[in-house]
Structure 1
Amino acid sequence: MTVFERNLAVITVKAPHIAEILRKTSSGTAYKDVVVAKTGLSVPVFATGQALHSLYDPARESERALPAESGFMLFGGLGSGIQISAFLQKYPHSVCAVTEADYPSLKQLLSLIDYTDILSDSRVFLLPPCTDSAFIAALTETYLPALHGTFGCYLLRAWSGYFKDAADHLSTCIETGLEKIKADFSVQAHFGKIWVRNIFLNLQLASCITPQYPNIDTARTAFIVGAGPSLDSCLDKFAQQRQRYTLFCTDTALPVLLAHGIIPEFFIALDPQSISYLHTCGTIPRSITGIFDLSAQKTVSRRFYENGNPLFFTAGNHPLVQTAAAFSPFPQLNTVSGTVAVAAYHAAQSLGFRRIECTGMDFAYTGGQAYARGTYLTALYTNAASRILPEEDAFIRLMFRTPVYHEEINGKYTYKSSLLDSYRTAFEAEKKLFSPWNPAEFRQFPYKQFIKALQQRIAACNRDVLMGFFPFLAWYTVHGNANFDGMELVSEVISGYTKP
């Protein structure tokens, strides 16, 4: 077996996508060969003749050059790997990732030096080259502040000099990636606790029901109903042509439809916040089937259950939800965008509908209006209004709570924002996807067995368990006031949802 084959065997296990690309890539020309330092270490040499490390004592050079301790260190340039070994030895409780300039250069290095000891270490992650479009996504998936702590970066000086453009691009990618991680961490720190609470309580409820795959006519047209301002103009259409459509109603739109005597077939919810309960105040027709992400507000799913409505749970993108789905399957639901519009479209496609129309999916404040008339906000703001703070003022504060830009359409301003634009992009992307639900995934969830399995994995110090709780760990990082380590904290959380 060649040096490259040995390295590739390790990469195939840890990063199969990268391994597949390396198999198809031709070796580069950036590196000429390796030379042996006085300490006996093999050091790569560029085609220009410049060595990547000191040829006197590269280990000491690497140790001295290491920055202050970081929980997560990103290395730019694989080199001989001595800098990574030095980091792991000096900071045994930290983790690191490494990236190269491009795939040809990476393949060339992997053909020159045996990195199997480094690459097989569980604390080391191999990321795509920094010039690959997949790099930023890989970085944001790998660096988890709640688990890893502080972020650090170390570029080999010779590497950053030879690959100057790649090094500059890497700096830009790191900045972009960290901004995204910061935004994700902020969301996790805000919702981390309520997500976990909802998931466990919904899993308990899932153990009380045996859901049925919906018996529906997919030859009809599915109509996805959002709560945007454009919904107002479609209400008469629903009333007049009701038999043509199967309505998939997003949570906020439900009171609007019911106020006009329109009963949807499906209600979709994934919002974890307690205020979501306001969508379901009043009488809920028992013919409506509830589709709930496991992280959705538990009082809403409980309301449907106690009202006698058919319902079933789906597995969104929360890692704890995916842990539960790996134990016993749930229908998968795309919730990564955070908008229920995408989830509703996903549900319609997954149930077999091919003709799908939409309304209320404005992803904008159309004509200066935040929502369709009759949502829970209408009642909330009307009841709170006063002479000096009218209902309109509350809606204005809602629309302009973050930076917006506007377009003039038919003499009226429509306001948009980067967040709403991202929702629209995710919604358009969902239209191109299709993943049918399997009726075998509609089953009763074995909650007690699941809890027991989690507790056994904690007793075995299985760190993979922590991955399911990292949004909660993000919340705890910001709000926690006790001194638990990660595994103790997860154990404490699980015990809170275990009945004696």
Structure 2
Amino acid sequence: MRELRASRSLLFESLFSMQLDEQNMTVRVEASKAGMPTLYLSRGEAAGLFHSRYQPLVEAERWAAAHTDKNAKNLAFFGFGLGYQIRALREAIGADKGIIVLEPSWEVFDTALGAVDLRDLLKDENLHLIIGGTARQLARQMGALAGQKMFEMDWLEWPAFRRFYGNEYLEEFSKELSRSMRDARLDQNTVLYFQREWPRNILYNLPAILKNPGINALQNKFNKKPAIIVSAGPSLSKNVEMLHEIKDKAVILCVDTAYRVLQTKGIQPDLIFSLDGSELNYRHFTGVRPEGIPLVMVPNVHHKIIEEYGQRVFSANIFDMLVSEVVKQIEPKGLLSVSGSVATLAFSTACRMGCDPVIFIGQDLAYPGGQAYSKGTMFETMTKTVENGFMMRHVEGIDGMPVLTDAQLDSFRVWFEVQIEEYEAGRTFVDATEGGAKIHGTEIMTLREAVDRYCTESFDIQGVIEKVSERRSDDLNPSIMALRTMSRTLYQIRRLAKLALIKNQELRELYKLRRLRAGKVAFISAMLDRIEEHIKRLNGEKWLDAPMQHLLLVVTRGRLAQAPENETDHAKAMRVTENAKLLYQGMVQTAEELKDHVEVALRRLETETIQGEKLR
């Protein structure tokens, strides 16, 4: 379990926030004839062994040998089991290729942790584990992972999985994955656009994250109490005034785009939510004062928002590789399922707090009448039409009539439906937007009807939030030391990348002579190999990967990465060294930028720590 927390902090947090008593499934370990454990599963009408009763290791090795594609870049399949087939596949294809394993059952994964030694798999940097969820949820996670990593994959099948889950499960997964991959392609543009901005936001926001509580502090604090999520859709103007009479009778959760509207109306929400890392998102707060209202945020939210208004924050999803070593030194902040809309952050927080019912207003997810945002927001004049929008479409509205939306808004609608599907048996979701797209799984009613039915009794909202939002007094010296180590490592990477630039240019000059000095070329090439290997070791936490995402695509898939037909050896050498120059220049620039951001985080954290010690 210690290795799980050290190597897979995201899985560690998820495992301990899950209930492992999956009522329709029995999981137990049995001894195989060969002596090592095998796994017994019973799910519905299917029951039996997931691995061989006789030789589980031999079975796994034969499967891996039969299904290994040497040309595949990444391989994906369902079923973690006890990990035998994963280890066999890794041995068959080598350490550099990606393996993605999807396991619907947390019970299976938890059982495997207790039954076999999984330390080698947990340390495998190219093994991606997606654990727990329905077919639709796993497909959404798979799509998000593929979009984030920007990779292609080939699918394999472990035979026993279909026996327990059936064709219907896999067909549902396949259908949802197609939709998710389409959405992921949209998200890739966002990742590439913000690839250099997000690392700065994460590091600049780090002091506030470390000094304040996480979303775990709000766990079940408003169990069975109503919550209203206030979004900035055009229909908000229909019923926003009614929030005056709801104060202290429902937890008011306001997305950042809608806060300007509420402040203008004299309505104070209980929590504000911010997700977007862009400068444009910061502008939602210009000219308004959140008046000490706690902010719920993710690490890559624009740093100016936290600097100016983030004295009291609840953070979530602190799993970026950039700060993984730093946050290992503190208690987990908590994980929330989110998509690209800030309303998804508010939704998951409401569910984490135990709120029931969860009521939506301003959640159009469409452009009724062509209007994009509510009156009173920064974008109140923005309009959309089929002609001027991107990937526009019509979907069913709350009244059964078609309403205009686009691919991105529609992906958020699907996200809400997937999440609601998981909760619907024990929780009520109400769409009181009074306009926009229909969110299946919600009860549609006016806000007046929702208030009269659900928001009738006052309860102490502010007192509860005040108590759990107090700043933490944790010892932050281990985190400070981790940041100092990070700064030194980035300095070394920058120095080595500069040296690689020099040696690559020397190699290029040799190639220009056309009469090659083979010994000299071999010497410099070997030196570059050693430098790259050293950089790879120093970049073990993948700090440079996300900020360099666009450049890596250029280097691996761009013009200089493609060999023209009938290319001469000399032309190839010039092309390869020119491509390498781009890579090394990118490493120098990225390492330098990240080091500067780390130094800012260090100064802020050390200053706050010193001030805190003086106050004590």
Report the TM-score when normalising by structure 1.
0.62
Q: Residue 313 of structure 2 aligns to a residue in which SS?
A: strand
Amino acid at match of 2:541: V
Once residues 470 and 312 of structure 1 are traced to their aligned partners in structure 2, the CA distance between those partners, rounded to angstroms, is 28
Q: CA deviation at 1:232?
A: 1.0
Whose relative contact order is higher, 1 or 2, with alpha carbons under 8 Å and at least 6 apart?
Answer: 1
Q: Residue 316 of structure 1 aligns to a residue in which SS?
A: coil
Preserved CA contact (<8 Å) 1:367 1:413: no
Structural mapping, 1:173-212, within 5 Å: 177=177, 180=180, 182-183=184-185, 185-206=188-209
Once residues 332 and 407 of structure 1 are traced to their aligned partners in structure 2, the CA distance between those partners, rounded to angstroms, is 35
Amino acid at match of 1:6: M
Once residues 409 and 179 of structure 1 are traced to their aligned partners in structure 2, the CA distance between those partners, rounded to angstroms, is 22
State the identity as a percent: 17
For residues 344 and 21 of structure 1, do their structure 2 counterparts lie closer, same or farther at Cα, with a shift above 3 Å needed?
same
**Which residues of structure 1 form unaligned runs of 5+?**
9-18, 35-40, 45-51, 104-115, 382-390
Match of 2:342 among 321, 340, 343: 340
For residues 21 and 133 of structure 1, do their structure 2 counterparts lie closer, same or farther at Cα, with a shift above 3 Å needed?
farther
Q: CA deviation at 1:203?
A: 0.5
Partner of residue 483, structure 1: 583
Q: Say whether residues 1:405 and 2:390 are aligned partners.
A: no
**Which residues of structure 2 form unaligned runs of 5+?**
1-30, 106-117, 429-463, 493-533, 556-580, 604-616
Match of 2:295 among 290, 300, 313: 290
Match of 2:541 among 461, 465, 469: 465
Partner of residue 316, structure 2: 315
Once residues 462 and 22 of structure 1 are traced to their aligned partners in structure 2, the CA distance between those partners, rounded to angstroms, is 45
Amino acid at match of 1:319: D
Once residues 235 and 77 of structure 1 are traced to their aligned partners in structure 2, the CA distance between those partners, rounded to angstroms, is 48
Once residues 224 and 474 of structure 1 are traced to their aligned partners in structure 2, the CA distance between those partners, rounded to angstroms, is 34
Q: CA deviation at 1:225?
A: 1.2
Question: What is the CA deviation profile of residues 123-148 of structure 1, one whole-angstrom value per residue up to 9, with x for unaligned ones?
Answer: 8869899xx94896499289768769
Structural mapping, 1:168-317, within 5 Å: 177=177, 180=180, 182-183=184-185, 185-206=188-209, 222-239=227-244, 242=247, 244-305=249-310, 310-316=311-317
Once residues 349 and 405 of structure 2 are traced to their aligned partners in structure 1, the CA distance between those partners, rounded to angstroms, is 26
Q: CA deviation at 1:273?
A: 1.6
Q: Residue 307 of structure 2 aligns to a residue in which SS?
A: helix
Q: Residue 204 of structure 1 aligns to a residue in which SS?
A: helix
Q: Say whether residues 1:151 and 2:153 are aligned partners.
A: yes
Preserved CA contact (<8 Å) 1:451 1:494: no
For residues 146 and 479 of structure 1, do their structure 2 counterparts lie closer, same or farther at Cα, with a shift above 3 Å needed?
farther
For residues 151 and 280 of structure 1, do their structure 2 counterparts lie closer, same or farther at Cα, with a shift above 3 Å needed?
same
Once residues 253 and 489 of structure 2 are traced to their aligned partners in structure 1, the CA distance between those partners, rounded to angstroms, is 39
Q: CA deviation at 1:29?
A: 12
For residues 70 and 496 of structure 1, do their structure 2 counterparts lie closer, same or farther at Cα, with a shift above 3 Å needed?
farther
Amino acid at match of 2:346: A
Once residues 281 and 440 of structure 1 are traced to their aligned partners in structure 2, the CA distance between those partners, rounded to angstroms, is 24
Q: CA deviation at 1:359?
A: 1.6
Once residues 356 and 168 of structure 1 are traced to their aligned partners in structure 2, the CA distance between those partners, rounded to angstroms, is 31
Q: Say whether residues 1:419 and 2:495 are aligned partners.
A: no
Once residues 388 and 71 of structure 2 are traced to their aligned partners in structure 1, the CA distance between those partners, rounded to angstroms, is 43
For residues 294 and 355 of structure 1, do their structure 2 counterparts lie closer, same or farther at Cα, with a shift above 3 Å needed?
same
Once residues 210 and 29 of structure 1 are traced to their aligned partners in structure 2, the CA distance between those partners, rounded to angstroms, is 42
Structural mapping, 1:82-161, within 5 Å: 88=91, 91-96=94-99, 122=124, 133=135, 137=139, 140=142, 151-152=153-154
For residues 30 and 403 of structure 1, do their structure 2 counterparts lie closer, same or farther at Cα, with a shift above 3 Å needed?
same
Once residues 231 and 322 of structure 2 are traced to their aligned partners in structure 1, the CA distance between those partners, rounded to angstroms, is 25
Preserved CA contact (<8 Å) 1:94 1:148: no
For residues 462 and 232 of structure 1, do their structure 2 counterparts lie closer, same or farther at Cα, with a shift above 3 Å needed?
same
Q: Residue 257 of structure 2 aligns to a residue in which SS?
A: helix
Preserved CA contact (<8 Å) 1:272 1:295: yes
Partner of residue 498, structure 1: 598
Q: CA deviation at 1:449?
A: 3.2
Once residues 411 and 209 of structure 2 are traced to their aligned partners in structure 1, the CA distance between those partners, rounded to angstroms, is 32
Question: What is the CA deviation profile of residues 435-469 of structure 1, one whole-angstrom value per residue up to 9, with x for unaligned ones?
Answer: x9994995267352342465799999488733x87
Aligned residues: CA RMSD = 6.0
Amino acid at match of 1:443: R
Preserved CA contact (<8 Å) 1:192 1:474: yes
Q: Residue 498 of structure 1 aligns to a residue in which SS?
A: helix
For residues 72 and 204 of structure 1, do their structure 2 counterparts lie closer, same or farther at Cα, with a shift above 3 Å needed?
same
Once residues 206 and 376 of structure 1 are traced to their aligned partners in structure 2, the CA distance between those partners, rounded to angstroms, is 28
Partner of residue 11, structure 1: none
Question: What is the CA deviation profile of residues 34-83 of structure 1, one whole-angstrom value per residue up to 9, with x for unaligned ones?
Answer: 9xxxxxx9789xxxxxxx89xxxx98xx6xx96453432358999xx999
Once residues 430 and 352 of structure 1 are traced to their aligned partners in structure 2, the CA distance between those partners, rounded to angstroms, is 11
Q: Residue 396 of structure 1 aligns to a residue in which SS?
A: coil
Q: Residue 252 of structure 2 aligns to a residue in which SS?
A: strand
Q: Residue 200 of structure 1 aligns to a residue in which SS?
A: helix
Preserved CA contact (<8 Å) 1:272 1:296: yes
Preserved CA contact (<8 Å) 1:252 1:279: yes
Preserved CA contact (<8 Å) 1:329 1:441: no
Structural mapping, 1:3-22, within 5 Å: 6=36, 8=38, 21=41
Preserved CA contact (<8 Å) 1:136 1:176: no
Amino acid at match of 1:311: R
Q: Residue 390 of structure 2 aligns to a residue in which SS?
A: coil
Preserved CA contact (<8 Å) 2:98 2:126: yes
Preserved CA contact (<8 Å) 1:71 1:95: yes
For residues 350 and 119 of structure 1, do their structure 2 counterparts lie closer, same or farther at Cα, with a shift above 3 Å needed?
closer
**More moved, 280-289 vs 90-99:** 90-99
Partner of residue 395, structure 1: 384
Preserved CA contact (<8 Å) 1:210 1:442: yes
Once residues 281 and 99 of structure 1 are traced to their aligned partners in structure 2, the CA distance between those partners, rounded to angstroms, is 43
Q: Residue 235 of structure 2 aligns to a residue in which SS?
A: helix
Partner of residue 577, structure 2: none
Preserved CA contact (<8 Å) 1:145 1:474: no
Amino acid at match of 2:313: F
Amino acid at match of 1:198: N
Amino acid at match of 1:314: S
Once residues 172 and 238 of structure 2 are traced to their aligned partners in structure 1, the CA distance between those partners, rounded to angstroms, is 45
Once residues 338 and 292 of structure 1 are traced to their aligned partners in structure 2, the CA distance between those partners, rounded to angstroms, is 13
Preserved CA contact (<8 Å) 1:146 1:470: no
Report the TM-score when normalising by structure 2.
0.52
Partner of residue 443, structure 1: 472
For residues 319 and 117 of structure 1, do their structure 2 counterparts lie closer, same or farther at Cα, with a shift above 3 Å needed?
closer
Amino acid at match of 2:344: V
